[in-house]
Each structure stands twice: as structure tokens, then as C-alpha cells.
Structure 1
Amino acid sequence: MLVVTLPRSAPEDQGLSSAAIDAFVAALDASGQEIQTVMLLRHGHVVLEREWAPYRLADPHLLFSVSKSFTATAVGLAVEAGLLAVDDKVVSFFGPAELPETISANLAAMTVEHLLTMTTGHDEDTVGRLTHDRRMVKVFLGLEVEREPGSWFVYNSGASYLLSAIIQRLTGETLLDYLKPRLFEPLGITGATWGASSEGISFGGWGLSLDTESMAKFGQLVLQRGLWNGEQLVPAEWFEAATAKQVDNSHSDNPDWQQGYGYQFWRGRNNTYRADGAFGQFVVAFPDHDAVLITTGATEDMQAVLDTAWANLLPALEGKEVAPVPHPELLELAPPSGPAPQAGDGQTYTFTPNPGFLRSVRWDADGAAVLTFLVTELSEPETTAFTCAPGAWLHAEGEPVVTSAYGDGDAFVATVRWLDTPFSGQFRCRVDNGRMTVDGKLNVSFGPTEFSIASE
């Protein structure tokens, strides 16, 4: 497949000031939020692309709930093909093997549009009750629907999974396979991967990995209302509806999550809309300014990233004067520094399941250590092992992982960054009386970010 890249341009050629763009980058760098890559499009041209080493713009990145907006696009394509309508009842797509014996009035009333708008009638996100079972569709349909569908917004990744299941039921293809010839190939997106459940269904609400420019292409397509190189890939009216305020979500906590929700897209302040994913994965469209902002990162405060854009990028898009700000030529997330670790005993210490997925540590006599992690998202869990040693980032052979280490008294302090995700971890290892204790700290997590474990 021909790889199509977006055109590049100097900011001034697209009506922007280079000084203002540099000031925005400096603000991101100083924000205290871990930004890993950023890209800005203006009038369809890339006017900003920066990466914080060791992260790279060209590397695939796990997008979490940005995936939902791609799922909604697949639904729009299926609607255009006449395979379904948004007012179709959810139960109509499934048979006795998945449906409960008694179908409640609320479940019977639930439509595809309720799934798209997160108004299924559930009191809380269903995803936590689905992912521990191999029959996720059956579990979703068997849950109590406490409210009348359409009456209440609750962010619900389980609803996105069901949309994926419906697409697969109708087409015989996973979401990824369905979108490849209809969306990814026309946009020149290569290397897309999408995690799937044990049922063989793309997760829909999460699990998609793309590089930064592929995210930008999708954002530009949505901004152009489905038009790409003169071809209408997705109906304009679908993106009009998907990015409009379909339901009220003003009871949400943060200001940019109170502006309304569409079809798996968020409305934002300053007449923006976006796809976003946990820990700072953003595709933000500025229709008033013909611009798209993309970030990947690792932050627990996603509102802070948007606030930085409103304070530092929006004035530039509005043509306001922005004072030049010194900015670093080299953007990096440097490895922690310190003295070389002392010699280890060469023993392998193993651990029970823990928030850092650390399975074992071997601290060798040369002062380096090998940390082994359990990979649990695979159908058959396996382990991966990485050497950690002092100095510059050490790239793991064949893996999108970098490591580093230093000594702190009698402790070996290892840092591991998984470059295809937002995640990194610091592991402070000490041996005493034949056991190793590890104090772990994760940069971001859906669970605890700090933990302490002792070897078995």
C-alpha cells in the first residue's frame, strides 16, 4: 500500500507565527504533564511535529479511548452501507445464546444510538464487569439496565465494545479488518493494531494503536467531514452528527468534559470537539480555525493538557500576538541519573502478582539487573525480560522498551519505559536477609501508582 504523508509547511505559510508555535511547545514542556509527541495541522498542513526522546512520532502508540471515535466511524460506514440504522434495537442483533431469558423493558428499548451516545441506561460503566469474563457480549446483555435508555449519560466503554460486536456480527469482520480498506488504506495508515477479546472481537472502546501522524490524518478527515483527496470516505452528515452535542453531560467533573457528548466524540470548550484517551492521548479539532492538535502522553490530569492548549495555542490560532519564549531545542524525558549501582548477588528473586506486573529480578555482580515482567493482555500470558544498567537509555532488542538504572546506597533503582504505551515504572530494589524488596512507582495507572512487594 502506498504510504501517504501529510504535507508539511512553515507556520507562517498557514497564517501562524513560528514564535507562537515555539511558545506553545515550551508551555507543554514546562507544564508538568508528560507529553511524548505533539503534532499540529493548519489548513491540512503539518506546521508542528515534535517528540520527547526516547519517544518517536513514527512509533505506534496505544490510544485507549481514542479508539471509540474510530468505532463510531465504522458504525457510520455500516449505516451508509444499509447494514443497520441508529434506531435499531440492540437485542435485534443477538440470539438466544447471548440474550438473557427475560429481556427487561429497558434492555428491549436500548438502541444503537444509545450505545453511541453512552446513554444505555446503566448507572455506571459496565466495562469492569465485562473484562473478567470470556463472554463479554452475553455479560453486557445480562446486566441490569437501571434507567430508561436515553435518560442519562454515563461514560460506558462496554457500550463501545457492543458496537464492535454488532459490526462484527453484521460484516463477519473485526473492526480492524472492516476499517482497513474503507478508512486506513485510503488515508495511508499502516501498522494499525487493535486488541481483541477472547471472543475474537476488537475491543472497540480501547486497544487501538497508531502513530501520531495516523491520528492526525483521522482528525483531518473528521474536520473535513469525511472528504479525503476528493473522495467522500465517510458521509459528511455522519461526522456532523457524531461531533455534535447529542446528549447533556454537564454533571461531569471537568469543564471540557461538560460540553456535551456526540457519537463517541466529546465536545469541548472554544467550539472544539475531540477524540481522547486515558493519560493524554488527544485528537482535538478546532473547526473555527481549520486546525487539528494531536498529543500522546502520560498524565493523570488530562484537563491540564487542554488548559495549556487554550492558554498557549488558541491565541496563536486566533492571530493574537504571542511573545517569544525560549524553548529547548532538544526535547527529552531523560533517564534518572545517579551513581553506578553496587554489585549484586546474581540470584533471581520472584514476586507474586503486583500492580507493576513485575515477575522477577536478577541483580548481577557487574551492577546490572534483569527485570522480568508478565504480559497479561495476551490470550496466553508470557514474560518479557529487560536489562537495566547505568548510562543513557538502553534500548531492548526487538522491543519498544528503554531502560536505565542507578545506585542509591544499597538499592538498585531501575526505570523502564514501554514506548508503545504511556507507561513507565521505577523499581527500587533492595536485598536483605535473602529476600528482595521492591518499591515500585508507575507514572500513570488505572490502579495504584505506588506499591511495595517482597520476593517469594
Structure 2
Amino acid sequence: MKTNRKLKSLITVALLSSLSSFIFINTATASTEDNVKGAKILAPEVSASDAKASFWDMSYLNKAFIDTRPSDRKDGITVGDLVANGGNKAMILQLAQEIADKKHGKYDSLLIARHGKLIFESYYLRGRVNQPHFQASATKAYTSLVVGRAIQLGYLTIADLDKPVLSFLKGLNPTKFVAGVEKITLHKAMTMSSGFRFTEEQLKNFRENPNKYKGLNQIQAFLELSAPITSESQSFKYQGADPTIVMQVLDAVVPGSAKDFIKNELLDKIGINTYKWRNDLDGLPLAGERSSMTSRDMINLGSLIINKGKWHGEQLISAKYLASATSGITKATENWQPDSFNYGYFWYQTDMKIKDKNYDANIAWGSGGQHIITFEELDLTIVITGHDREDTILAQVSKNILPAFVK
């Protein structure tokens, strides 16, 4: 037994010496752990100056931080050990080194949870454990969870997904609508198939004249200025109008405001209280972008997917809805989306093949490198944040992370 412990210690020392650009925490084996008690270094927190700065003005970390046995921050997240929960430490550490060396782009965090425990936590560049990170279009996936919460509480039904969105919205002027708007349903909008089509000039006008489109004027403009809605136009097109109209429906059906509902019925319920979620021109939370979450909070959101909408035994999100939301309802067809990607209700679905076996992956994805990736079969959640223009990190999930947990 002593020989095995010494061997493990030597392996650990070799790993640490070869990965010198890291501050390593909790990578020691049991035989060396007693020697480092009291020397625990905590994950990097945002400084007072960086907290006041915009994300793009934040300073980079001097050294990357990695923890294969994350600390219990008393934030409601259960922690565990990477190896004890089936992870290949050498493979994960190698990828962490490559991320620190910017071999895959500019990424700010990589976290892994398995069997209900956070078992790997790392921060790079502008990543901080307590600083909400911009989510970009991953926000759409969170909006989808809010719809699922509304269904679970009875403010919407599964059947409502196929009703015209106009049946929920009041105060609009239908005499100016283009033909076919009655074809737009929540199902169509959440699969990016509303059928809205705008010219570049119209889109430019939306951006440059925000005061004209405040409140319901924004939705009225969509319904007036779009080309007619037809069965041909109701094909996949990734655009901001679709999530916007979904948020309008949410605000119309839930008690109080959509903003309060998001806070009280979703985020508060799963322990997310350090976040930002900006408003759209209509005064409602932006449904498609501009939210910010900490990486640990993203782990909580991924847990809802892994557990079929349950949180500590309570059914927060309709399981039936979530099964559809995370399925491949339609093909994602934009030229920047991988060929293997399908689209559900603002969630991506794809299969990743390891050792001749396909593993179903559900993904919340935002530009710059924001990802929540879940593999239900492996009880595995991966969170990545970044600020990389190309965002190629998903290739490393199938190449390095997934194989680290497949025996």
C-alpha cells in the first residue's frame, strides 16, 4: 500500500512540474494531502476595480487556476473529487494546460459536474468564481426553461405551444398585420421557425431607432413589417425576433412580470442570486441574449437538464416539455452551425461518438464560447465560458472531456 501511495505521489509531482503555468489546487493524492493542509488556495474572485469595469476591461489572471477537488463555497453546490467520480485526471489536466496556453482560443472557465457533484473547476483569463459572465445566446436556453416553469405551474399548457401567439397578446393593432401572422406559434418561435423575414434596411432601422420600438411597439413592428408569413418562410432562421415574441407571451400569462417570474420561480429556486439580465426595447428581459451568470450557476442550470427538470426532488420544469425542448425537433441550418446539430426549444441537440457509441448531448450555446453541455447517460455536465471569436472548443469536448469519462 505504501509503495502504491509513493508511486501516486511521484505521478502527481510529474504532472505538476510539467504543467507549470497553473496554480494547482487539490491535485495531491491521499498520501500527500496531510502535508498541504492549511495551504488551500481559493478560486480567484473579482477584484474591486474589475467589478466596476466592463467585462472587456477586466484584467487577465496572472496564472490559470485549476482544482480537481473543488472547494465547498457554501453556495448549495455539492463538491467531489474528479478521479473518485470516474474522471481521467491526466486527460483533463492536459486539456486544462492547453486552454491555459490558449491553444484552443480565449476561454475563461471550464467546470465539470458528475453524479450531482462539482468535480472539476478551473478559471483562466477573465474568469472569476464570483463574477457573472456574459452568456450571449445561451440566454435563449434559459428562456426556454422559464417557459417550462410556466407550464409546470399551469400558466401555460403543452397544447398552448401550438396556439397562435396572438391569442396571448393584447393591445396590438391587427388591422396592420401582414398576412399569415396567425401561423406563428410558440412551437414555431422556439424552434426559430416563426417565419419572420426582414430586409437589411429594416433591421438597421430597428437598431438605429430604439425609441420607436419600445413596449408593444416592438412586436407591432415585427407583425407589420415582416414579409408575409408562409409555410415556406416558416423554416429555420436564427434571429432575435423569435425569442422576443416568446418573452412577450410569458409576460402576458404569468402573474406579475416576466422579470419577477424569472427571478422568483426559476433562478431563486436553484440558488442563482448573482446574475444580470438586461431588458429589451419592450421593457421585458431580453429573451435571446444579454444575461450574465457565474460558471457555478451554469452548473445549476445544467443540473435541471440532467435531472429532467427536478431540483432536489421538486419538479420545477415540466418533464414532458423539457423532453421536447432538448430533442432534435428541427435541423440547425445556419452556415456557422455544425452539420450534426439539431434544434429543440432554444436548445441544441447532437450526438457525440466515442468508441463506436453515440452519446446524446444537449447544449446551451452562446457566441464567444458560452456552453452548458449535458450527457444524461453519463450524468455529466460541462460548463465553458470564454471570449473567443472563433469558438472551436466543442471539438475538445468530444476529443478530450467525454473520453475521460467513458471506460
TM-score (norm 2): 0.72
Aligned to 2:117: 45
Partner of 2:162: 87
In 2, the alpha carbon distance for the partners of 1:234 and 1:40 equals: 22
Alpha-carbon separation, structure 2, partners of 1:160 and 1:257: 23
Of 276, 290, 296, which residue of structure 1 is paired with 2:385? 296
Distance 2:342 2:320 in 1: 18
Amino acid at match of 1:306: L
Assess if the C-alpha contact under 8 Å between 1:106 and 1:149 holds in 2. no
1:354-384 per-position Cα deviation (integer Å, ceiling 9, x unaligned): xxxxxxxxxxxxxxxxxxxxxxxxxxxxxxx
Aligned pair 1:256/2:325, yes or no? no
Does structure 1 retain, via aligned residues, the 8 Å contact 2:302–2:374? yes
Q: Write 1 or 2 for the structure with the bigger share of helix.
A: 2
Deviation at 1:266, TM superposition (A): 0.8
How far did residue 119 of structure 1 move? 0.6
What CA distance in whole angstroms lies between the structure 2 residues aligned with 1:252 and 1:98? Answer: 32
Which of 81, 92, 99 lines up with 1:10 in the alignment?
81
* 2:322 match: 239
* Highest RCO, 1 vs 2 (Cα 8 Å, sep ≥ 6): 2
Q: Secondary structure at the match of 1:197?
A: coil
Aligned mates of 1:213, 1:129 — CA distance in 2 = 38
Name the CA distance, whole Å, in 1 between partners of 2:365 and 2:188: 20
CA distance in 2, matches of 1:240, 1:128: 37
- Matched residue, 1:272: 361
- 1:28 is aligned to 99
**Which amino acid is 2:96 matched to?**
V
Separation in 1, partners of 2:230, 2:351: 29
Trace 1:381-392 onto structure 2 (pairs within 5 A): none
Q: Helix, strand or coil: the match of 1:269?
A: strand
What do you get for the CA RMSD once the two structures are aligned?
A: 2.4
Q: Which amino acid aligns with 1:71?
A: T
Q: Residue 186 of structure 2 corresponds to which residue in structure 1?
A: 112
Structure with the largest fraction of strand: 1
Q: Distance in 2 between matches of 1:254 and 1:204?
A: 21
Structure 1 vs Structure 2: percent identity of aligned residues?
Answer: 22
Q: Give how far 1:5 is off.
A: 2.6
Q: CA deviation at 1:166?
A: 1.2
1:310 and 2:398 are equivalent in the alignment: yes
Which amino acid letter does the alignment assign opposite residue 85 of structure 2?
Q
1:211 corresponds in structure 2 to: 294
Tell me the residue number matched to 2:53. Answer: none
Unaligned ranges ≥5, structure 1:
320-456
Aligned ranges 1:147-158 → 2 under 5 Å:
147-148=230-231, 151-158=234-241
Structure 1 residues 7 and 107: alpha-carbon distance in aligned structure 2, compared to 1, 3 A threshold: same
Partners of 1:272 and 1:129 lie apart in 2 by: 38
Quote the Cα distance in structure 2 between the aligned partners of 1:264 and 1:127: 22
- CA distance in 2 between partners of 1:123 and 1:183 (Å): 32
How far apart, CA to CA, are the structure 2 residues paired with 1:288 and 1:311? 18
- Pair 1:128–1:287, CA change in 2 (3 A): farther
Residue 214 of structure 1: CA displacement?
0.5
Could you say what secondary structure the match of 2:393 adopts?
A: helix
State the alpha-carbon separation in 2 of the partners of residues 295 and 242 from structure 1: 21
Please tell me the residue identity of whatever aligns with 1:256.
Answer: P
Q: CA deviation at 1:99?
A: 3.6
Distance 1:128 1:33, change over 3 A: farther
Structure 2 CA distance for aligned equivalents of residues 4 and 55 of structure 1: 18
- Residue 145 of structure 1 and its aligned partner are, at CA, apart by 3.6
Letter in 1 for 2:366: G
Question: Given the two structures, how large is their TM-score scaled by the length of structure 1?
Answer: 0.64
Deviation at residue 293 of structure 1 after TM alignment:
0.9
Distance 1:299 1:273 in 2: 21
The residue that corresponds to 1:328 in the other structure is: none
**CA-to-aligned-CA distance 1:385-421 (integer Å, 9 cap, x gap):** xxxxxxxxxxxxxxxxxxxxxxxxxxxxxxxxxxxxx
Secondary structure of the 1:86 match is: helix
Residue by residue over 1:117-160, the C-alpha shift from the partner in whole angstroms, topping out at 9 and shown as x without a partner, is 11111346997664443332222222224532784101122111
Alpha-carbon separation, structure 2, partners of 1:54 and 1:197: 26
Give how far 1:292 is off: 0.9
The aligned counterpart of 1:161 is: 244
Q: What secondary structure is seen at the aligned counterpart in 1 of 2:87?
A: coil
Query: Does the C-alpha gap of structure 1 residues 110 and 129 become closer, same or farther in structure 2, counting only changes over 3 Å?
Result: farther
Q: 1:291 to 1:99 in 2, by over 3 A?
A: farther
For 1:260 and 1:219, the matched residues in 2 are separated by 18
Q: 1:255 to 1:53 in 2, by over 3 A?
A: closer
* Correspondence for 1:202 among 273, 278, 285: 285
- Partner Cα distance (2:275, 2:161) in 1: 27
Q: 1:171 aligns with which of 240, 254, 271?
A: 254
- Give the CA deviation at 1:105: 4.1
Q: In 2, Cα distance between the equivalents of 1:66 and 1:129?
A: 26
C-alpha displacement of 1:306: 0.3
1:303-331 Cα shifts (integer Å, max 9, x gaps): x1101222111211213xxxxxxxxxxxx
Aligned length: 315
Equivalent position to 2:373, from 279, 284, 302: 284
**Given residue 15 of structure 1, which amino acid in structure 2 is its aligned partner?**
G
Aligned equivalents of 1:195, 1:299: Cα separation in 2? 22
Specify the SS of the correspondent of 2:331.
coil
Q: Matches of 1:263 and 1:118 in 2, distance apart?
A: 8
Distance 1:53 1:301, change over 3 A: closer
1:3 CA drift (Å): 6.6
Query: Which amino acid in structure 1 is aligned with residue 106 of structure 2?
Result: E
* Separation of aligned partners in 2, 1:166 and 1:280: 29
